[in-house]
Amino acid sequence: MKSGTVTLIGRPNSGKSTLLNALIGEKVSIVSEKPQTTRHRILGILTEPRGQIVFVDTPGIHKPVYRMNQRMLQTALDSLRDVDLVLHVVDGSISLGAGENFVLQIVKNAGPKTILLINKIDKFAKPRLLPIIDRYSKEYDFTEILPISALTRDNLKLLVDILFKCLPDGEALFGPDLFTDRTERFLTAELIREKILERTREELPYTTAVIIRKFDEGERVKRNLVRIEADIIVERRSQQGIILGKGGLTLRDLGSAARLDIEHLLGSKVYLGLRVRTVLRWRNNEVVLDELELGG
Ligand SMILES: Nc1nc2c(ncn2[C@@H]2O[C@H](COP(=O)(O)OP(=O)(O)OP(=O)(O)O)[C@@H](O)[C@H]2O)c(=O)[nH]1
Ligand SMILES: [Mg+2]
């Protein structure tokens, strides 16, 4: 049996969480078209007869301004330690700038063997690939360079085969039915945040957080019902209005979309109560960041 830990690292929006979900076959980590979606270290566990791979999704590497972002960067950096392999995920459809160089430096200094994944090949023409491969192979001796599409699953089977080959022999770390280390409560908050990211623009995705106030499973067995109450945190009063929308329509709409996803996750009916609350400068507030379980 093979067993090992594999960390996904890269710029925001490069497709790490999409890849994690595709590899696991479950929605473990939320995805959006906005950068800085993932804020935590999230495990996705793949168990097969040939062994177990524990994938580690991380926040995209970016210049941190607020304490929240410093914690996110630290979380990503910490996730490179004591792992068997690193997957450096690059968005091949956009030009490579200073941000990518920064990630490359981190990967170079990290220690574990690294595979370069050039993602989103469904989105660009093949001739783009060669210069990217050329540039990266000059910079670092990657164990492998593999073009993939996390969205269309191109080359993912091959990737998993390569990973199982690279990983050491060992016993599985987690039970075969477990696909993440995260609680239902955490995943619920994330699903609500995902719906906010889908429906808001400009600074809202960055200034919003979700805290679960109540996760009542008292009627779960008898009535197949879980009662959940959550606070949507914003930084300014004006942002409260944006989340609410005209006549509360935006909040109602994102609430029902989130509820469907949460019901799917829990396999039960869900009552979801949402409240919008302003907490000034929460992104620099250590107490709030602790409550949100932001590492670093
Ligand atoms: N066309 C295409 N889009 C992709 C692919 N992989 C991811 N995306 C899209 O890219 C966007 C970002 O994906 P995420 O998985 O959230 O990216 P991430 O690297 O986890 O981003 P952060 O959490 O912000 O670091 C989403 O809109 C995805 O649908 C791909 O292979 N092809
Ligand atoms: Mg992500």
What residues pack around ion ligand 2 (CB closer than 5 A)? 16-17, 37-38
Model's pTM, two decimal places?
0.97
pLDDT score, position 96: 87
Kindly tell me if the per-residue pLDDT of 118 is higher than 90. yes
Residue type, 267: G
The alpha carbon of 14 and the centre of ligand 2 are apart by a number of angstroms equal to 8
- Average pLDDT of the chain is 97
CA nearest 87: which of 182, 190, 27, 15? 15
Report residue 123's pLDDT band, with 50, 70 and 90 as the boundaries: very high
Ligand number nearest CA of 122 is: 1
Q: What percent of the chain has pLDDT over 70?
A: 100
| Residue 112 CB–ligand 1 contact under 6 Å | no
pLDDT one-digit tens code per residue, 224-255:
999 999 999 999 999 999 999 999 999 999 99
Do 76 and 42 contact (CB within 8 A), yes or no?
Answer: no
Nearest CA to ligand 1 atom 32: 120
Return the closest-CA partner of residue 37 out of 56, 14, 55: 14
Contact 165, 11 (CB under 8 A): no
pLDDT tens by residue, 79-104:
999 999 999 999 999 988 889 999 99
Write out pLDDT tens, residues 179-218.
Answer: 999 999 999 999 999 999 999 989 999 999 999 999 999 9
Q: Which residue has its alpha carbon closest to ligand 1 atom 13?
A: 15
What's the rounded Cα separation, in Å, for the pair 22 and 248?
A: 34
Q: Is the pLDDT assigned to residue 282 strictly greater than 70? A: yes
Give the span between the Cα atoms of 120 and 18, in whole angstroms: 11
Helices (H), ranges, 215-285: 220-223, 237-244, 249-266
CA–CA distance, 285 with 67 (Å, rounded to integer)? 8
The answer, yes or no, to whether any atom of ligand 1 lies below 6 A from the CB of 61, is: no
Identify the structural domains of the chain with CATH numbers, from first to last. 2-166 (3.40.50.300), 184-291 (3.30.300.20)
pLDDT category at 296 given cuts 50, 70, 90 is low
Confidence of residue 22 (pLDDT cuts 50, 70, 90): very high
pLDDT the model gives residue 287: 96
Q: Are strands 113-119 and 144-147 parallel, antiparallel or unpaired?
A: parallel
Residue type present at position 118:
I
Q: Is the beta carbon of 58 within 6 A of some atom in ligand 1? A: no
Q: How far apart are alpha carbons 209 and 187 in whole angstroms? A: 13
276 lines ligand 1 (CB under 6 A): no
From the list 61, 25, 20, 62, the residue with the least C-alpha distance to 43 is 20
Q: Is 234 left (phi over 0), alpha (psi -120 to 50) or beta?
A: beta
DSSP element (H, E) containing 158: helix 156-166
Q: Is 18 in the pocket of ligand 1 (CB under 6 A)?
A: yes
